[in-house]
Amino acid sequence: MFPFWSTVLFALLMVTGFLLLFKSIGRLIRVYTAGTKIEDSALVPDFEFPLKEPGAYEIAVKRPSLTGIIPTDIPFEVSDLMTGKTVAVHSFVNLLGQRKDGSGSRIVPIAEFKIEQEGRFKLTNPQTGRFKERDSLMVMPKTGSRGFLMIFAVLFSAILFIGGLVFFILSLVEK
């Protein structure tokens, strides 16, 4: 039923989808694991950390459970210890940026800030009482919409691979 050229086309679609799938999964992993990640207990009123690259960073809550409301609108303060200046912190909740780590903990970005140069910084958490015992605060490079778009790239390449595989097998079975 299928001509020979369609069998070749389906095989090419399958191989292309397979290669794109591995490439997009690798990029997705790099988006979420790239850069410095600083983590400390959310019950600590402040902690110091170094940042080696200028750019946008996010403050996220890491909670080792699937349930529970993540505290938002925390008035975090970030201070540059080298210059003594305060860095502007903007509160926001990015539910599309929510993710899970290897242990099943939820990571939800709740604030962001931008630095102009590398240095040592201090994060102050004035509302430690709003967090649970095992909650952590993480400072990491901002992922923004890159992770969300990479998920769509993974889905597209998986559909391309599976569709090419199914039609390739069907074209071989029909002969």
* Domain residue limits, the chain: 4-173
Task: Give per-10-residue mean pLDDT for the chain (175 aa).
Answer: 82 93 87 76 90 88 80 89 89 74 82 90 90 88 76 92 92 78
| pLDDT score, position 96 | 66
| pLDDT score, position 69 | 81
| pLDDT score, position 23 | 92
Positions of E strands within 19-135: 38-41, 46-51, 55-63, 77-80, 86-87, 89-91, 99-100, 106-115, 119-124
Q: What is the pTM of this model?
A: 0.72
Phi-psi region of 144 (alpha: psi -120 to 50; beta: other; left: phi over 0): left
| pLDDT score, position 157 | 94
